[in-house]
Amino acid sequence: MPLRETAKQRAKRIDGRVLDGSRWLERGRFLLAGVAAIVAIGWWGLGMTFRRADAWTSPGPVAAVHATWANDCNACHTDYQAIRGDALLASSDARAVADQKCQKCHAVAHKDDLLGPFGHHALTGNDFQLGCTTCHQEHRGTSQSLARTADGNCTMCHARDDLAKLVKGTPAVADLKVVTQFSATGHPFFRSLGDPELGPASPKQVPRKLKFAQFSHQLHMMPGMARDSDHQAVWTLGQLAEADRARYAKKGQSLSEPVQLECGSCHQSESRGIERTKTGEASDASPPGNSSGAYMLPVVYENQCRACHPLTIEPCADDAAKPCDTVPHRLTPAKLAEEVEKYWQDRYFKDHPTLQRRLLPLPGSSQDVEYQDASDWVREQSRQSATHLNRVCGKCHQFTDEAAREQPRQRPASADELIDAIIPRVAPVEIPRKLLAHARFDHAAHRAVDCAACHQDAYPAKSSGDKLSDSEPNESSLMIANRDKCRECHSPRQEDAASSRGGARFDCAECHRYHNPAAAPSRETGTIGN
Amino acid sequence: MLVDFKNLGAHRNWVILFVLGSLASMAWYASASRGAMDWPSGASAPGLTFGIIAGLLILFEFLLWPRKTLFRVWRIGRTQVWMRAHIWLGLLTVPLIVLHSWRELGGALTTTLVALFAVVIASGIWGLVVQQFLPRAMLAQVPAETIYTQIGGVIEGFRQEARLLVTGVRGELSAESGAGATATVAANFAVLENAFATVIEPYLSTASRGGSLLANGARAVNFFRGLRDQLPIGVHPTIDRLETFCEQRRQFALQARLHFWLHNWLWIHLPLSAALVVLMLVHVVVALKFW
Length of chain B: 291
- Whether residue A65 lies within 8 A of chain B, CB to CB, comes out as no
- Whether residue A384 lies within 8 A of chain B, CB to CB, comes out as no
**Exposure string for A198-237, b = 16+ CB within 10 A, e = fewer:** eeeeeeeeebbebbbbebbbbbbbbbbbbbeeeeebbbbb
Element (H, E) at A282: strand A282-283
Q: Does B238 have pLDDT greater than 50?
A: yes
Nearest CA distance, A36 vs chain B (angstrom): 5
Identify all chain B residues contacting A28, using CB atoms and an 8 Å cutoff. Answer: 267
Contact A29 B270 (CB under 8 A): yes
**pLDDT tens sequence across A108-155:** 766 555 566 676 776 766 556 678 888 888 888 899 888 888 888 888
Identify all chain B residues contacting A156, using CB atoms and an 8 Å cutoff. Answer: 35, 37
**A25 domain residue, yes or no:** no
User: Where is the domain boundary, A430, A450, A473?
Assistant: A430
Of the given ranges (A246-255, A415-424, B21-30), which has the lowest mean pLDDT?
A: A415-424
- What was the pLDDT predicted at B177? 61
Cα separation, A86 vs A133, whole angstroms: 9
Contact B38 A36 (CB under 8 A): no
**pLDDT tens sequence across A81-99:** 888 777 887 777 777 888 8
Nearest CA distance, B272 vs chain A (angstrom): 7
User: Where is the domain boundary, A89, A111, A146?
Assistant: A146
**pLDDT tens sequence across A9-36:** 877 776 666 555 456 677 788 889 899 9
Q: Per residue, what are the HEC states of chain B?
A: CCCCHHHHHHHHHHHHHHHHHHHHHHHHHHHHHCCCCCCCCCCCHHHHHHHHHHHHHHHHHHCHHHHHHCCCCCCCCCHHHHHHHHHHHHHHHHHHHHHHCCCCCCCHHHHHHHHHHHHHHHHHHHHHHHHHHHHHHHHHHCCCCCCHHHHHHHHHHHHHHHHHHHHHHHHHHHHHHCCCCHHHHHHHHHHHHHHHHHHHHHHCCCCCCCCCHHHCHHHHHHHHHHHHHHCCHHHHHHHHHHHHHHHHHHHHHHHHHHHHHHHCCHHHHHHHHHHHHHHHHHHHHHHHHCC
User: Where is the domain boundary, A406, A430, A454?
Assistant: A430
> Which sequence spans correspond to the domains of chain B?
5-143+262-289, 148-260
Total structural domains in chain A?
A: 2
User: For A391, phi and psi rounded to 5 degrees?
Assistant: -70, -40
Of the given ranges (A74-88, A168-182, B47-61), which has the lowest mean pLDDT?
A: A168-182
SS3 for A410?
Answer: coil
Q: Which residue of A has its CA nearest to B267?
A: A29
**A122 domain residue, yes or no:** yes
- What was the pLDDT predicted at A529? 33
pTM of the prediction?
0.69
**A437 domain residue, yes or no:** no
Domain that includes residue A389, residue range = 309-357+365-430
Length of chain A: 530
ipTM: 0.81
Range list of H helices, A365-514: 366-394, 415-417, 451-454, 483-487, 508-511
**A390 domain residue, yes or no:** yes
- What was the pLDDT predicted at B243? 94
